[in-house]
Amino acid sequence: MTLHFTATESTFSYFEAMRKYLEAHGKPVALYSDKAAVFHCNGHAETAGKGVTQFGRALYELNIDTWCANSSQAKGRVERANLTLQDRLVKELRLRGIDTQEAANAYAPHFVADFNGRFGKTPRSTFDAHRPLRADESLDLILTSRVPRRVTKVLTVQYDRVIYMLDDTPENRALIHQYLDVFEYPDGRIEIRVNGAALAYRQYDRLSEIDQGAVVDNKRLGHALQVAQVLQAQRDDRCASGMPSRTNQGLAPRPKERKVSTRTQRELTQQQLNAAVLSTAETRAAAVGK
C-alpha cells in the first residue's frame, strides 16, 4: 500500500506514487486498477501508443502487467478502503495539526504502518513476488511523459506550439523523416532523445512577440511594428491544454475553446488588418497632436 498526497490527480502524480512503491518494495507482477483515464485508454489516439496511456507504457517497460476492474464488486473493494481513509486519515491529520502537502507526505509512512498493523491480514503464502529494479531501468526516463515526433527536412521538431531546432550534423541528418521521442519531465523540462541518447537543440517559440523597444528603435518600421503588436494582442497565445507538467504543478488546464474576442495564430482577415492599421494610425496622430 502506498499513500501519497499531491496537488492534482494526474499522470505525473501517479508516477510519483509508483516511484515510492518501486523504491520501497520493488516491481510487482501486476497492478490492479479501475478504468480511470490514467490507467485505461477509452480511445485509440493516445500518443504513447495505440490504445496505451503514458502510465500503461511505463508499466510495460518495467514488465508489470496491468488489470482494470471490469465489475462493480471489484471496484467496490477500492472504494470501501477509500471511505475508511477519507474518514480516519482526515481526523488523524487534524489531530496532529498537519495542513501542508509536505507534512502530510512525511506523516504518510507512519499512518500506513499503523493502518496495516490494525487491519492487515496475514497472507496465505509468505512468498514475495516483487522483483528488484534492473540496473538499466532508469525511473527518471521511464516515469515521464513521452510522445513521438517526426523530424522535418530542416531538422526541426514541433511540440506544444514550440519548434525545437536540431544541430545540423551528419548524425542528425540521418534522422530526417524519422520519429524520435520528446520527453516532458514533471518540472516542465523538455528533452529530445533517440536510441537512448539526448540530442542538443535550440528552441524557437512560434508565438514570439514584438517588444516596445523594437517599435521605438525602428523609426521607419514603427507603424508596421505597432500594427503587428495590435494583432498579437488579439491572438490566443496559451499553450496546449494537454501539457502533463502543467497539471502536475496544479495549474488549471486550458480549455479547448479559445478566449472570447481572440483569434487563432493563423487566423487573420483583411478586415482585421485594416482595423489594426486604422487604430494605430489614430493613436499616432493623437500622439503627434499633443
pTM of the complete model: 0.74
How far is 71 from 64, CA to CA, in rounded Å? 22
Computed over every residue of the chain, the mean pLDDT equals 81
Cα 66 versus chain centre, distance: 22
Is CATH 3.20.16 what the domain over 144-205 is classified as, yes or no? no
Enumerate the domain spans of the chain. Answer: 11-119, 144-205, 212-289
Give residue 169's pLDDT band: very low, low, confident or very high (50, 70, 90).
Answer: very high
Q: Give the per-residue pLDDT at 209.
A: 57
C-alpha cell at 86: 477519507
Give residue 159's pLDDT band: very low, low, confident or very high (50, 70, 90).
Answer: confident
pLDDT digits (tens, 9 = 90+) for 69-82: 887 777 776 777 77
Percent of the chain with pLDDT over 90: 40
> Per mean pLDDT, which of 84-88, 108-112, 226-230 is the most reliable?
108-112
Q: Higher model confidence: residue 269 or residue 103?
A: 103
Largest CA distance in the chain: 91
Strand order in the sheet with 201-205: 156-159, 162-166, 201-205
Q: Higher model confidence: residue 89 or residue 276?
A: 89
Give residue 216's pLDDT band: very low, low, confident or very high (50, 70, 90).
Answer: very low
Q: Higher model confidence: residue 253 or residue 54?
A: 54
Closest CA to 245 of 104, 106, 99, 54: 54
- Give me the long-range contacts of 40-45 (CB less than 8 A, separation at least 24): 40/68
Of 88-92, 151-155, 266-270, least confident by mean pLDDT is 266-270
Task: Tell me the Ramachandran region of residue 228: left when phi exceeds 0, alpha when psi lies from -120 to 50, beta otherwise.
Answer: alpha
The 3-state DSSP class for residue 166 equals: strand
Phi, psi for 145 (deg, rounded to 5): -80, 135
Q: What is the 3-state secondary structure (H, E, C) of 182-240?
A: EEECCCCCEEEEECCEEECEEEEECCCCCCHHHHHHCCCCHHHHHHHHHHHHCECCCCC
